[in-house]
Amino acid sequence: MGSGRGGKNNLVTMLERVRDCDGFSLDAASGLVGSVEETWLDDEGHPVALAVRTATGRRGLLLAADIAFVNEDEREVTVLPSARLLELGSPRLDRDGGSGPAASWRTTGVEVPLVPGREPLAVPAAVLRPASRLLAGIALLLGIQLGLAFLVAFLVTGHAY
């Protein structure tokens, strides 16, 4: 889809096409290192960074300049070998005059290592595509129906099959 070699404009364009990377896996040369939690925007509303959760459970900020490739079909973000992930501190809620509350999240300045996890990361159901949720619902209904068929057979004959 895109490459980090073309400069800042290509990176922003790449992220614009994938404005919502929530739930994408985060891959490095060493393997799966985390998942994308949300896309961060600049003052003009352009995507410029990704908030991620590492395979070890830490949260970090990945700048667009550290992204090598975004694969929309596979829902993967691949980082450059030189990528740096900056640890995110605790989220803050600020009362900003009369305009209401404003949330902010800042980096601590500590670099988070990009180490591969032992198991694939679980993607929350809220970030699955609608088609995936539909298929999961159908599979659940089929499982219930199959279970009921065995239960009825057991109750009638004393044997489940």
**Domains of the chain, first to last:** 4-122 (3.90.50), 128-161 (no CATH)
Mean pLDDT over residues 99-118, rounded? 81
8 A C-beta contact, residue 62 and residue 79:
yes
**Per-residue pLDDT tens over the stretch 29-61:** 888 889 999 888 888 888 888 999 988 888 999
Is 121 exposed, middle or buried (CB count within 10 Å of its CB: 0-12, 13-18, 19+)? Answer: middle
Residue closest to 112 by CA, chosen among 87, 145, 142, 143: 87
Q: How far apart are CA 78 and CA 67, in angstroms?
A: 6
Q: What is the pTM of this model?
A: 0.62
